[in-house]
Structure 1
Amino acid sequence: MGGMTAIPSAPRQARYQMPPFCSSGWAMTNDEVAQGAAAYPADIGYQTTDSPAWWDNNADVAVERAVRQLLSALGVDEGEHTAETPARVARAWREMLWGYNEVPEDHLDTDFPAPDDPGLIIMHGISFASTCAHHLLPFSGTATIAYRPHPGQRIVGLSKLARLVHGYAARLQVQENIGHQATAGIMRKLNPSGAMSVITARHDCMRLRGVREPAAEATTESRKGMWPDREIALVHRLHAGGRPGAC
Structure 2
Amino acid sequence: MEENYCKEEHFSPEAIERLSHHYREILTILGEDPGREGLLKTPERVAKAMAFLTQGYHADPKEILLSAKFREEYKQMVIVKDIELYSLCEHHMLPFYGKAHVAYIPNGYITGLSKIARVVEAFARRLQVQERLTVQIRDCIQEALNPMGVAVVIEASHMCMQMRGVQKQNSATTTSAFTGVFLSQMRTREEFIHLIGSRLR
Partner of 1:189: 144
Partner of 1:220: 175
Instruction: State the alpha-carbon separation in 1 of the partners of residues 98 and 81 from structure 2.
Output: 12
Percent of residue pairs identical: 37
The answer to which of 155-164 and 73-82 deviates more is: 73-82
1:243 CA displacement: 4.6
For structure 1, the residue ranges without an aligned partner over 5 or more in a row are 1-54
Among 82, 85, 90, the residue aligned to 2:42: 85
Kindly indicate whether the alpha-carbon contact (under 8 Å) linking 1:67 and 1:89 is maintained by their aligned counterparts in 2. yes
How do 1:44-55 residues align onto structure 2 when only pairs under 5 Å count? none
Scaled by the length of structure 1, the TM-score of the pair is 0.72
Instruction: State the alpha-carbon separation in 2 of the partners of residues 236 and 126 from structure 1.
Output: 15
Partner of 2:4: none
How do 1:36-185 residues align onto structure 2 when only pairs under 5 Å count? 56-78=12-34, 79-109=36-66, 110-115=68-73, 117-150=74-107, 153-185=108-140
> What residue identity is the alignment partner of 1:67?
Y
Kindly indicate whether the alpha-carbon contact (under 8 Å) linking 1:237 and 1:243 is maintained by their aligned counterparts in 2. no
> What residue identity is the alignment partner of 2:160?
C
> What residue identity is the alignment partner of 2:55?
W
> What residue identity is the alignment partner of 2:82?
G
Instruction: State the alpha-carbon separation in 1 of the partners of residues 154 and 95 from structure 2.
Output: 15
Give me the CA root mean square deviation. Answer: 1.5
Instruction: State the alpha-carbon separation in 2 of the partners of residues 239 and 175 from structure 1.
Output: 19
Kindly indicate whether the alpha-carbon contact (under 8 Å) linking 2:95 and 2:160 is maintained by their aligned counterparts in 1. yes
Scaled by the length of structure 2, the TM-score of the pair is 0.87
Kindly indicate whether the alpha-carbon contact (under 8 Å) linking 1:105 and 1:182 is maintained by their aligned counterparts in 2. no
Length, aligned pairs only: 186
Among 182, 198, 205, the residue aligned to 2:160: 205
> What residue identity is the alignment partner of 1:161?
I
1:192 CA displacement: 0.9
Look up the SS of the partner of 2:45 in the other structure.
helix
> What residue identity is the alignment partner of 2:31?
G
Look up the SS of the partner of 1:81 in the other structure.
helix
Runs ≥4 in structure 1, deviation > 6 angstroms? none
Instruction: State the alpha-carbon separation in 2 of the partners of residues 118 and 215 from structure 1.
Output: 39
